[in-house]
Structure 1
Amino acid sequence: MMRLLPALPALLLAALPQPALAQVAAADSGDTGWMLVCSVLLLIAALPGVMLRHAGLANVRNALSVMTQGIAMIAIVSLGWGIAGYSLIYAPGGGWIGGTANLMLANLAALRDGLTVPESAFVVFQMAAALIAASLLAGAVAERTRLAWFMGFAPLWLLIVYVPITHAIWAGGWLAQLGVMDFAGGLVVHEAAGWSALALTLIVGARRQASIAGHSPVLALAGGALLWIGLSGLVGGWALGATDDAATALLNHHFAACAGALLWMATDRLLGARSSAMGFLSGALAGIAAIAASAALVGSGGAMLIGGAAALLARLGLALTRRWIDDPAQIFVIHGIGGLTGALLLPLGVLPLLGGVGFEAGIGLTDAIIGQLVGIIVVAFWAMAGSAIAALAISVIIPMRVTEEVEHDGLDAMYHGEQSWDFR
């Protein structure tokens, strides 16, 4: 009893009524962990995935150069994202552009408004999505462009093309207010990258000695397989938590990829070409680009339909454009046409009749189709115009193309040691 006397005041104080304290919102560790995992998956897709695919599709004398350009693009866009990109998209602003409250990633909240994850985790995930779009561009103009030009082009492309498109759709900007829907990047990532690639290929021109096929199909297949897996992080992460929507999105991502792979191979046969492993992966990636717009909003049947339709249209697009577009990695047909197809078919896939979640109250099928058409046209035009402006602006200082001699000998010699900054 004597031992309890010193503790008696504390016990009495604890028994008294206590004032109510406001509960401090805390991040959900499961949702936070899930978004970080999805971010890492996207980084794997952007670094070894895209780079291996592009290297395998290039001539053996240019494999290192296209990988170097991809690394440079990722490094510069990452820094640009931290300095201004995130703030200009997601900080409070207007319908056309965000604000400056988060420049240099200042003033990040402990919890992202409306979510169960820290804002820092949201920043990492959004940066990884931007890196996917940026990293694809190097493959479209491989084997003839200068590293120095690419390094100047990268930050301008981020600010002129990616930031306005992303703010307009994902941050509640003017396109979102018009009813444009894009769950996980069919428009923002895939269509924007694909149509930017088209603009670059037309401006830079064709290779003087274009290869019919890349030097290493095995490398290209390995990179494509990493993209198949890594891009699941884009649709899974945009569920913004470890939820049923995330699981649904992952399933539909895989179903669309499988349907796209088989439809591309079937189209090869119908066009009189041989089915190939490269075609299989191209079809899968076209299906993945298409389903990104609606991955958590459609049923399994709708996902298969969207993936297959995108691969069919992308393969037909390749047959029609191959003679006048020199795009070694097929960025335009796979991501540009694939993303466009998925965004266009989203209103049909969302219908409950096809297993979709249905539209919100007050939105009809016609309204949704019109909204998607507006989004598709605006993103395609903005991506091409913005990319052309950025490319031509930098070319005033640094020429886009290497010299004929360097292109003939291969660019890889320019990326070894002290010759890395050769401006020939």
Structure 2
Amino acid sequence: MKQPVFPMRPLIALPFAMALLTPQAAFAQDIAADSGDTAWMMLCAMLVLLAALPGVALRLAGAASVRNALSAVAGNMGVAASVSLAWAMAGYSLVYAAGDAWLGGIGNLMLAHLAALRDGMTVPESAFVLFQMSLALFAACLAGGAVVGRGRAGWLTLFAPLWLLLVYVPIAHWTWGGGWLANVGVMDFAGGLVVHVCAGFSALSLGLIAGKRAPGKTDAHAPLLGMAGGALIWLGSAGSIGGWALGATDDAATAILNGHFAACAGALGWIALDRLLGGRATATGAVAGALAGIAAGAASAALVGAGGAMLIGAVAAAICRGIGGVPGRLTDDPARIFVLHGIGGVAGVLLLPVFVLPVLGGVGFESGIGLGGALLSQAIGVIVVALWSMAGTAIAAFLISMALPLRASPEDEENGLDAALHGEQAWDFR
């Protein structure tokens, strides 16, 4: 007789059931970076590099005389190259590696030991390094522009990495790297203080050290180039502001909108003042107002409402327009870096606490912080950054000048610095 087979089925299934009921070791799941946020950070870095390399270079070339335009671009390229390498060797580590309230550590020298994912973010640390490098490079290119028409391109190439380590790195760590300025409540969303105020006051110090250009060598030869460079800086500011949201988020879109509104209000405000005070508006004035608005709006881009961003840009442009001629009596700054970025940045940093109030459309303060305390913190930040930038720039300039003079020879200045760039001594390391 045929034996039934169904009684054996439970016995066969028993080992499988026991295996399923036995606790299993979980498979480790690697936390991966968000591809959208990573792509956003890389795009923002490229926009900032666009502002730094062709943007600042064209602005300086347009502000220089016809025989110094090539030298201005060459110096800009030398600064960009040397600062990028210095950032990789030590700059990033000294800003963001674990350290103390005054300076970061050495854990990431030569970009060693970068994490697969930056702490608290959805992007690889390498993408964060790239974005931060673009900001440092932009600030250095702005600061170096103060000596266009009389400074050696080779001197700038050597000066820029030392400036990065002595000036930019400490300020960035104090503000963004968990340093003591952040601990006293200084707010700077996207570089109004760290980038614009730092670069602007460094430019003032460098211009005072270099002295004014020779008589007859001070005319801007191509305002159109300067306007094109300013437009590229305007475009690139979307990267510096939007990138600080650290992802493709609503904060990024809000920050870019507010930064753009500040630039637009600054441009129109400058034109209006030109018309009221001088009788005629100028195209270069519109670009100047936009740059002042960009510098002012950087500190508060994601922290204020649209109306607050517009008012910040307009007020900063009015301040820069009103005092624009005063620094010109002290220093030769053809691209007006100190006025537009330095003074514009100061205005934005100090206006931030007012327009961050919820009643004016801002996000408000953290618990325990009031308007008076915030204003005091911002004032401390401005004073410290301005003084440190000027002093550190002077020290770096003195050290480099011991090996190579800052100013070109009187003969080269008379003939134009571009003449030397056609020969073998392009950067004139003599």
TM-score w.r.t. length of structure 2: 0.94
Please state if 1:224 is matched with 2:230. yes
2:205 maps to 1:205: no
> CA 1:87/1:423 → structure 2, altered by over 3 Å: closer, same or farther?
closer
Kindly report which structure 2 residues correspond to 1:9-408, keeping only aligned pairs within 5 A, or say none.
18-209=24-215, 211=217, 213-272=219-278, 274-408=280-414
Deviates more, 1:242-251 or 1:391-400: 391-400
Alpha-carbon offset, residue 222 of structure 1: 1.1
CA change 1:179–1:358 in 2 (3 A) is: same
Query: Residues 53 and 77 of structure 2 are in contact (CA less than 8 Å); yes or no, is this contact kept in structure 1?
Result: yes
Q: For 1:113, give the aligned amino acid.
A: D
Judged with a 3 Å threshold, the aligned counterparts in structure 2 of structure 1 residues 49 and 186 are, in CA distance, closer, same or farther, namely same
* Aligned counterparts of 1:400 and 1:299: Cα–Cα separation in 2: 45
Q: What's the secondary structure of 1:238's corresponding residue?
A: helix
Secondary structure of 2:278's aligned partner: coil
Letter in 2 for 1:359: F
CA distance in 1, matches of 2:61, 2:393: 23
Range 123-132 or range 136-145, more displaced: 136-145
Q: Provide the C-alpha distance between the structure 2 equivalents of 1:205 and 1:72, rounded to a whole number of angstroms.
A: 21
CA contact (8 A) 2:200 2:342 kept: yes
Structure 1 contact 180–368 (Cα < 8 Å) conserved: yes
Deviations 1:16-68 (A, max 9, x none): 65333454321111111111110110111111111111111111100000100
In structure 2, relative to structure 1, the CA distance for the partners of 1:144 and 1:12 (3 Å cut) is farther
Show the counterpart of 2:7.
none
1:150 partner SS: helix
1:266 deviates by 1.7
Pick which of 262-271 and 175-184 moved more: 262-271
CA distance in 2, matches of 1:314, 1:405: 35
Structure-2 separation of matches of 1:54 and 1:219 = 8
- 2:420 aligns with 414
More displaced 10-residue stretch of structure 1: 267-276 or 384-393: 267-276
In the superposition, the TM-score normalised over structure 1's length comes to 0.95
Matched letter for residue 382 of structure 2: I
In structure 1, C-alpha distance between the alignment counterparts of 2:138 and 2:17, rounded to whole Å: 61
| Larger mean Cα displacement after TM superposition, 22-31 or 345-354 | 22-31
* Preserved CA contact (<8 Å) 2:261 2:313: yes
Amino acid across the alignment from 1:248 = T
Question: Which residue type is aligned with residue 265 of structure 1?
Answer: I
Deviation string, structure 1 residues 173-220 (Cα, Å, up to 9, x no partner): 000001111000000000000000000111110001355641111211
* Corresponding letter in the other structure for 1:139: G
* Contact 2:50 2:232 (8 Å CA) reproduced: yes
- Distance in structure 1 (CA, Å) of the matches to 2:194 and 2:45: 17
Shift of 1:11: 8.8
Distance across 2 between alignment mates of 1:157 and 1:235: 23
2:82–2:158: 8 Å Cα contact kept in structure 1?
A: no
Superimposed CA distance per residue, residues 269-327 of structure 1 (whole angstroms, 9 cap, x where no aligned partner) = 33326311111001001000011001000000000010011111111121222222210
Shift of 1:249: 0.3
Closer, same or farther: CA 118–210 of 1 in aligned 2, 3 Å: farther
Point out the more displaced range, 308-317 or 318-327. Answer: 318-327
The code of the aligned residue for 2:103 comes to I
Q: How far apart are residue 73 of structure 1 and its match?
A: 0.3
Percent of paired sites with the same residue: 63
The structure with the largest alpha-carbon Rg is 2
- Equivalent AA in structure 2 for residue 169 of structure 1: T
> Deviation digits for residues 331-359 of structure 1, max 9, x if unmatched?
00000001111000010110011100000
The number of equivalent residue pairs is: 417
Question: Which whole-Å CA distance do the structure 2 matches of 1:102 and 1:137 have between them?
Answer: 26
CA displacement at 1:14 relative to structure 2: 8.8
The CA distance in 2 between the partners of 1:346 and 1:416, in whole Å, is 48
**In structure 1, distance between residues paired with 2:349 and 2:216:** 32
Contact 1:413–1:419 (Cα < 8 Å) also in 2:
no
Q: Indicate the SS of the match to 1:422.
A: coil
